Amino acid sequence: MSGVRRVPGEGPWEEAFGAARAVAAGDRVLVSGTTPFDGTVLYGEGDPYEQTRVALTRAVDALAEFDLDAASVLRTRLYLAHTRDLDEAARAHQELFGAVRPATTVVVVSGFVDPRILVQVELEAFAGPEGLRAPIEGASPS
């Protein structure tokens, strides 16, 4: 499929699944499920606010590969391990996206690939009517 660009992932799960960190097609960028892990380091162990903040920040950082930022986010999805963490996850989301107000879905799941993960997030962003600009170095075309 021409016009599709992928940013490879750096995490072990992305490699194991053969998944990209982010995929751009036309005027949309989709960011894969993002956890509070950076390599082998888990940030905010036991802290749903910190895990949400780190995961959302890492997901938005993936948009930078396409010259986009938090203001371009149309949709967020938050997957929580526990309903009790909703308020703390909402606080972290509000801090980053309060002015943007993306469409948001929160789902409570039965668990994640690592039991220390309390939250995982996904993003969808809009690059504007012209679509994405110049090719991203290191991104692989389809």
Determine the pLDDT at residue 38.
Answer: 87
> Which residues does residue 30 pair with via DSSP β-bridges, in sequence order?
23, 124
Pairing of strands 73-80, 103-108: parallel
pLDDT in tens, 20-78: 999 999 899 999 999 999 888 999 999 999 999 999 999 999 999 999 999 999 999 99
Higher pLDDT, 127 or 131: 127
CA nearest neighbour of 137 among 26, 18, 8: 8
pTM: predicted TM-score of the whole model, two decimal places:
0.88
pLDDT digits (tens, 9 = 90+) for 83-117: 999 999 999 999 999 999 999 999 999 999 999 99
Helix axes 86-97, 48-63, angle to 10 degrees: 30
The Cβ-side half-sphere exposure at 115, using a 13 Å CA radius, reads 0
Residue 129 banded pLDDT, cuts 50, 70, 90: low
Q: Which residue has the tokens 């391990």?
A: 81
